[in-house]
Structure 1
Amino acid sequence: MASLSWISIAFLVIFAFATNILAQWDQSAAAAPAATIFPQGGEGSLKPEQCAGACDYRCSATSHKKPCLFFCNMCCQKCLCVPSGTYGHKEECPCYNDWKTQQGTPKCP
């Protein structure tokens, strides 16, 4: 019976230690912004040769990679800007955000 209490105390100590480590890791991950991968900027913040890399990242999470890359690169060449992240944040690039198809839907992913 005494060994059972030592096992439970050891488990609680290990659990508390692991929780502390995970909390510190979560805080350090939150401190590093995603903008370090591709810095956000306004229109004209990219050079034309940077569009391919920015669009590869922008389209990395979609299941429709080929059309995403096609339209993203077309939009980037015109606006010289790609919003940060893999989705949303289009307010960072008004040109990218405001370019619409004939049906009025967004042209840029």
Structure 2
Amino acid sequence: MSSTSNFLFLFLVTIFLLSQVSSFEDAIEAQAHQPQVVKGPNRRLSSVDCGGLCAVRCGKHSRPNVCTRACGTCCQRCNCVPPGTHGNREMCGTCYTDMLTHGNRFKCP
């Protein structure tokens, strides 16, 4: 009887966790489709939430403010932020991967 109740408990916990992950992913996707007004001389609408996506991207960076500022610039220009906290830059195409700083370093985190 206890093995059945343990199985039922684990099954219910698994279902609960899967539903939470699904609702979290839905919330992130909903944020990504909200337009944002870009400040500066090249005002235009961006189809991604640069602030939210860059906060996730730079959350574990050693210098999060510097990372978030660079990420925001890249997001506004390229309309893309790669998934994860590091790497995957090629998923945003050449606009994101080829942008350089004045010191010829890669600008986009």
Query: What pairs with 1:1-109 in structure 2 (closer than 5 Å)?
Result: 9-10=1-2, 12-28=3-19, 34=25, 36-38=27-29, 48=38, 50-94=49-93, 95-101=95-101, 102-103=104-105, 106-109=106-109
Give the Cα separation in 2 of the matches to 1:54 and 1:60.
Answer: 10
Q: How many residues align?
A: 95
In the superposition, the TM-score normalised over structure 2's length comes to 0.58
The answer for unaligned runs of 5 or more in structure 2 is: 40-48
Q: Quick check: which has more Rg, 1 or 2?
A: 1
Which gives a bigger RCO, structure 1 or 2 (Cα 8 Å, sep 6+)?
1
Moved more, 61-70 or 94-103: 94-103
Deviation at 1:57, TM superposition (A): 2.7
The answer for unaligned runs of 5 or more in structure 1 is: 1-8
In the superposition, the TM-score normalised over structure 1's length comes to 0.58
Stretches (4+) displaced over 6 A: none
Pick the structure with more helix per residue: 1
Once the two structures are superposed, residues 67-97 of structure 1 have per-residue CA deviations (whole angstroms, 9 ceiling, x without a partner) of 1112112212322322234333323311112
